[in-house]
Amino acid sequence: MNDVENNARGTAVHAAGVSLKDLRKSYGSNEVLKGISLDVAPGEVVCLIGPSGSGKSTLLRCVNLLEQPNEGTIHVGGFEATDPDVDIDKMRRKVGMVFQQFNLFPHLNAQQNCTIAQTKVLKRSQGEADTVARANLERVGLGHLADRFPDQLSGGQQQRVAIARALSMDPQLMLFDEPTSALDPETVGDVLSVMRNLAKEGMTMLVVTHEMGFAREVADRVVFMDGGVVVEEGVAEQVISAPKQSRTKEFLKRVLDPTHIDISE
Amino acid sequence: MAMTARQRAKVSLYVQAGIFVVAVAALILATDWKTIGNSVFNFAKIGPMFPDIFLIGLKNTLIYTALGFIVGLSGGLLLALMKLSSFPLYRWIATGYIEFFRGIPALLVFIAFGYGVPLAFGVQWNVTIVVMISLGMVAAAYIAETLRAGLQAVPKGQLEAARSLGMPQWRAMVSIVIPQAFRIVLPPLTNEVILLTKDSSLIYVLGLTASQYELTKFGRDGISSLGAGLTPLLVAGAFYLVITIPLSLLARKFESRSARTKR
């Protein structure tokens, strides 16, 4: 699955894979990740699901070292992120990240949000950066709002700008940390459809989400985490529709049918 | 004749206004305006103060304040970053500096750098240098605390987003965090300038030549040279207000603007 697709600039995207080996992370005496191993092939879409506090966001944030794991190794593309001598900034250029709270830069408009790292990090000319930013804003359906500031955009629009901002760096891997959890229900669909298109284009994606419909439809694989370990993983349809583990079953029952109250429990 | 609550409030308001008017009238009548006109505020003595109060007093006050602010802002930014550093030594130095210079009267700092340090090290500093150092070092302590609060008010996610785009720490600070922090601290920073404007008067403890006088020294000098009671000092005071009131309005404008954009 070594997909090579065309991105917004018309140049080839080389999707990178991820390989995590026996990852451990503690905050004080609280061990959040208890030895996680996970491989994501180039071009593959993997959804991480699980109850809050299960460590899935921490795992995602370890991949680009926003969190430093205590033990284990992380390989992203050709980089070993856990090598003490790695140029972490160079590695992060290849890894786009989308946050639950968008984290757009409020002092810059949508266009500038997408150009600042291009000019300051990749040293692209302003003209080139503007072209790339414009193309990516078009790609997420917001070309017409390029000069708006974040506070003039809806949550869904802000999140799409955040995706365009990440894509403007031509990443080989995209990390999504609950990208739709902070959104109004009516804007969730726009963000998910942008992500769906991205998956179709062959981007490697690691997505922490509670959107089971999206996971079932778009993910190649679903990983269920609970209590800092991977409880179950497999083909999306199989894990979501026919989970094998009882913890997975219980979680999915609650998520898919939140109004269901089992008194005998 | 029972009154409603609204009527009672109205009557109370009228009574308060009446007391205020009577008090002001009594004060005006009881004042010996003739003595005040002769010895405290004499309109005839205002004229001779011009244009020098502009060309010397106001000009120097503005220059001293600006110099102090430039040094204070650069030093304050450095101290704020040191205080937020993960390296303990930097934090200790910054904390010690801030506590020291906020804790002693600015007047002592002026005397120390105006007389003490030049004497101890055998250096000759002109007034401009002494103002820059004294005013700047005191201002840096206050501005550092303001900037630190501003930097901490920028959500952590901003730094994370910048770093996740491959920006090194310094670049993320320069391009993303500091510009946002400055917006947050613009109102308190403007207040800092108001304080500095007034503190620039402390330069009077140094021996100044006439061309180095700022507003307060200019006014004090006018008292003896013009023999005009307090008139020159009161005029100088009015000139401070000409600087500080617009700054105050500016601070309020910044405040309402940041309240509008912060949602």
In angstroms, the separation between the Cα of residue A263 and the nearest Cα of chain B is: 40
Tokens of A58: 């921490």
pLDDT of amino acid B207: 78
User: Per-residue pLDDT for A14 more than 50?
Assistant: yes
In angstroms, the separation between the Cα of residue A129 and the nearest Cα of chain B is: 14
Question: Which of the 8 DSSP states describes residue B211?
Answer: G
User: Per-residue pLDDT for B61 more than 80?
Assistant: yes
State the average pLDDT over residues A142-167. 96
pLDDT of amino acid A2: 40
Tokens of A265: 């429990």
Contact between A175 and A91 (Cβ < 8 Å): no
Nearest CA to A164 among A107, A201, A112, A100? A112
In chain A, the residue whose alpha carbon lies closest to the alpha carbon of B164 is: A92
Q: What would the pLDDT profile of B153-164 be if each residue is shown by its tens digit?
A: 999 999 999 999
Q: Which residues of A touch B155 (CB under 8 A)?
A: 101, 103
- Taking the Cβ of residue B258 and every Cβ of chain A, the question of whether any pair is shorter than 8 Å is answered with no
User: What is the rounded distance in angstroms from the CA atom of residue A182 to the CA atom of residue A179?
Assistant: 7
Kindly determine whether residue B171 and residue A120, on different chains, have CB atoms separated by under 8 Å: yes
Tokens of A237: 């349809």
Contact between B234 and B56 (Cβ < 8 Å): no
Split at pLDDT 50, 70, 90, the class of B260 is low
User: What is the rounded distance in angstroms from the CA atom of residue B123 to the CA atom of residue A45?
Assistant: 70
pLDDT of amino acid A13: 57
Nearest CA to B212 among B72, B50, B106, B59? B59
Contact between B146 and B188 (Cβ < 8 Å): yes
pLDDT of amino acid A9: 44
Q: What would the pLDDT profile of A174-197 be if each residue is shown by its tens digit?
A: 999 999 999 999 999 999 999 999
State the average pLDDT over residues A66-93. 92
State the average pLDDT over residues A94-115. 96
Kindly determine whether residue A121 and residue B166, on different chains, have CB atoms separated by under 8 Å: yes
- Name the region of B208 (left: φ>0; alpha: ψ -120 to 50; beta: rest): beta
- Taking the Cβ of residue B155 and every Cβ of chain A, the question of whether any pair is shorter than 8 Å is answered with yes
pLDDT of amino acid A139: 95
User: Per-residue pLDDT for A5 more than 60?
Assistant: no
User: Per-residue pLDDT for B140 more than 90?
Assistant: yes
Split at pLDDT 50, 70, 90, the class of A96 is very high
Kindly determine whether residue A92 and residue B163, on different chains, have CB atoms separated by under 8 Å: yes
Phi, psi angles (nearest 5°) of residue B201: -70, -20
In angstroms, the separation between the Cα of residue A165 and the nearest Cα of chain B is: 9
pLDDT of amino acid B263: 39
For chain A, give the percent of residues with pLDDT over 70: 93
pLDDT of amino acid B91: 96
State the average pLDDT over residues A59-65. 94
Across the interface, of B164, B179, B180, the residue whose CB is closest to A64 is: B164
- The side-by-side arrangement of strands in the sheet containing A204-208 is A95-98, A173-177, A204-208, A45-49, A221-226, A229-235
User: Per-residue pLDDT for B53 more than 80?
Assistant: no
Average pLDDT of every residue of chain B: 88
Greater confidence (B33 vs A265) lies with: B33
Tokens of B195: 């304080």
Contact between A13 and A201 (Cβ < 8 Å): yes
Greater confidence (B212 vs B39) lies with: B212
State the average pLDDT over residues A111-129. 97
pLDDT of amino acid A7: 47
pLDDT of amino acid A10: 43
pLDDT of amino acid B227: 72
In angstroms, the separation between the Cα of residue A169 and the nearest Cα of chain B is: 7
Q: What would the pLDDT profile of B227-241 be if each residue is shown by its tens digit?
A: 767 888 888 888 889
For chain B, give the percent of residues with pLDDT over 70: 97
In chain A, the residue whose alpha carbon lies closest to the alpha carbon of B176 is: A105
Phi, psi angles (nearest 5°) of residue B255: -60, -45
User: What is the rounded distance in angstroms from the CA atom of residue B37 to the CA atom of residue B43?
Assistant: 8
Nearest CA to A88 among A60, A63, A118, A71? A63
Greater confidence (A113 vs B119) lies with: A113
User: What is the rounded distance in angstroms from the CA atom of residue A67 to the CA atom of residue A73?
Assistant: 13
- Among A16-30, A83-97, A105-119, B246-260, which is the least confidently predicted range? B246-260
User: Per-residue pLDDT for A54 more than 80?
Assistant: yes
In angstroms, the separation between the Cα of residue A90 and the nearest Cα of chain B is: 6
Average pLDDT of every residue of chain A: 90
Q: Residues of A133-161 as b/e, b for ≥16 C-beta within 10 angstroms?
A: bbbbbebbebbebbebbbeebebbbbbbb
Across B114-123, B188-197, B248-257, the highest mean pLDDT is recorded for: B188-197
Question: Predicted ipTM?
Answer: 0.90
Contact between B102 and B118 (Cβ < 8 Å): no
- Burial of residue A120 (number of CB atoms within 10 Å: 0-12, 13-18, 19+): buried
Kindly determine whether residue B165 and residue A166, on different chains, have CB atoms separated by under 8 Å: yes
Which of B86, B154, B160, B164 best probes binding to A when mutated, by most A CB atoms within 10 angstroms?
B164
Residue numbers of B between 160 and 189 with CB closer than 8 Å to A? 160-168, 171, 175-176, 179-180, 183
Kindly determine whether residue A117 and residue B165, on different chains, have CB atoms separated by under 8 Å: yes
